[in-house]
Amino acid sequence: MQQFKYSIIIAIAVVTFGACKKDSLTLYPEGQINGANFYKTETDFQEALVGAYVPLREAAAIAFYMEEMRSDNTEYDYNSKDRGGLGFEQLADFMDDKSNGVISTLWAADFKGIQRVNIILDRLPAIDTGVIAPASRKQITGEAKALRAHYYFELLRCFGKLPLYLHEVTDSKNAFVNRSSVDSVYDQIIADFTDALTLLAPPAKFPQTGRITKGMAATELGLVYLTRKAYDKATPLLQGVTAMGYDLLPNYADVFKLANKNSRESIFEIQYKAGTDGQSSFFIYRFLPYTKHTKAILGVDYNNTIGGWNVPTDVLISAYEPNDTRLEASIAVVKGKLDANTDFQPDSVVSILNPPTPGELSKKFIRKQFQLQGQGFSSINNTEDNWPAYRYSDVLLMLAECLNEQNQPAAALPYLNRVRTRAGLPPSTETGQAALRAVIAHERKVELAFENHRWFDLVRTGEAIPVMTAFGIAQKAKYAYLLPASYTVTSDRLIYAVPFRESQVNPGLGQNPGYQ
């Protein structure tokens, strides 16, 4: 257990950037920059800030298992020959426990980000203004506080009560902190985002740099208030975002093209870059079918043993209205057959609008990250698709929801209908509050499909238990491999267990109800 002892103490006076510095008096370890010779210049702090963004990639690489596959939007393609993905299946089937490796990875990644941010916020005030100009100081502080709020918001929605770390962890004495109440954590998230709003500027130009701006802070704080049902506080924040230069791209499918990364529709994207420096993404390989031969799909042959996850459900597909352009832009189909070993052999990728003929075997997959063909990528499992954390359409739908919940359905319609019109659908004319609430929820389900919003939307609106219980009944009737105890969706299952290794190292954390 010693190897896990300090899993939340990520950078105790040491931050590694893969470089070395030395002066005429003191030599420091080659390949390592430590607290004695770092955090001296603006460049140092900018590099540290970049390091604080890195855990976003680590969390996004596995978050969809917890934040989309937990919902009725996606499932997994059961592979009886390879049971190596049991931890992922457990999350989708509501069979996970405190030993699940995915929840442990997310917890560690987000707390790593929090520790890196805290180092910056603690050490920056000691640097003279002659070294770091006020404008740069504001920018660094604003981004750091927004990052800390973002990390805590994801953790809070996943785990409930949390230990609050607001300063650099320097030794074991201040590493082991008991959990604070949900309200206390929310108060800190709101305080950090509010501070960030006063320090950050809106995006200066498009495409953006990928760094946090005032637009991101306002959007996520708006979602925090929406989650807390403080609609009157969320509304002005979201309205402010509409005046920051963002807009919908004319075509929904264009939003996810590599050429449009960080576009005018993007509020915040988690950045990835193909290459050998550890910044690449690989989402499409997870989302494609499990197959030994990807040539017909990707143009290069690869034994894709990591595929078959986050598969679009029939429930989601049936939710798209006729002529909704988002369906074809979001989901594609691989046609193929089973070979002599009963392994799936792909033949071609076709539109979801082309139903398979009788006898054809087909498998659905998410199209949003399907950017490889014709893009010149030759490195397997190495792509540069960003992850869309917040888009402008999300802001419009949140604003519509806030206004409707304040008994202003007529004022909500223009925001809702901008999204529907872009999708090729007729505008909604619904002005009944309850009916419009359902329309907005439906739009969020299909507009933001596969972007890790559906599960959180179900939880915050009180629909998670009824929706997922009904979905589970249908799933168990459809798939014989599901255990009788699967999809037992209770209030305890609206958050995840505290990872076992964390509660063992720090018994003061306790455990969430239902996971003891």
Reading phi first (left if > 0) and then psi (alpha if -120 to 50, else beta), residue 227 is in: alpha
Angle at 107 between CA 271 and CA 283, to 5 degrees: 35
The full set of domain ranges for the chain reads 1-170+462-516, 284-385
Report the pLDDT averaged over residues 140-157.
98
* Cα distance between residue 208 and residue 422, in whole Å: 22
Q: Quick one: pLDDT band at residue 32, thresholds 50, 70, 90?
A: low
Q: Which residues pair with 365 in a beta bridge?
A: 332
- Tokens 């910044």, residue located: 279
Residue 86, CB-side half-sphere exposure with 13 Å CA sphere: 8
End-to-end CA distance of the chain: 19
Q: Which of 152, 2, 84, 94 is nearest to 497 (CA)?
A: 94
pTM exceeds 0.75, yes or no: yes
Segments in 68-213 forming alpha helices (H): 86-93, 101-123, 134-159, 182-199
In this prediction, residue 10 carries a pLDDT of: 34
pLDDT band at 381 (very low <50, low <70, confident <90, very high): confident
**Are the CB atoms for 165 and 114 separated by under 8 Å?**
yes
pLDDT interval class at 380 (50, 70, 90):
confident
The length of the chain in residues reads: 516
Arithmetic mean of pLDDT over the chain: 91
Provide the CA 265 distance to its chain's centre, in angstroms: 17
Q: CA separation (Å) from 424 to 121, 322, 416, 438?
A: 47, 9, 13, 19
pLDDT per position as a tens digit, 247-294: 999 999 999 999 999 999 999 999 999 888 889 999 999 999 999 999
Cα(117)–Cα(148) distance, rounded to whole angstroms?
Answer: 6
**Per-residue pLDDT at 18 exceeds 60:** no
Question: Average pLDDT in the 442-453 region?
Answer: 98
* Number of Cβ atoms within 10 Å of the Cβ of 125: 8
Question: Is a pLDDT exceeding 80 seen at residue 356?
Answer: no
Distance (Å) of CA 400 to CA 222, 300, 388, 418, 435? 12, 44, 21, 10, 13
Dihedral sign, Cα of residue 452, residue 454, residue 455, residue 461? positive
pLDDT at 404 over 70: yes
- DSSP summary character for residue 385: -
Band of pLDDT at residue 28, cut at 50, 70 and 90: very low
CATH number of the 1-170+462-516 domain: 1.25.40.390
Report the DSSP beta bridge partners of residue 179: 163
What's the rounded Cα separation, in Å, for the pair 96 and 87?
7
Residue owning tokens 């390879």: 82
83 pLDDT above the threshold of 90: no
Q: What is the DSSP letter of 281?
A: B
Residue 360: its pLDDT value, please?
84
Sign, CA dihedral 237-242-244-250, equals positive
Please report, rounded to a whole number, the percentage of residues in the chain having pLDDT higher than 70. 92
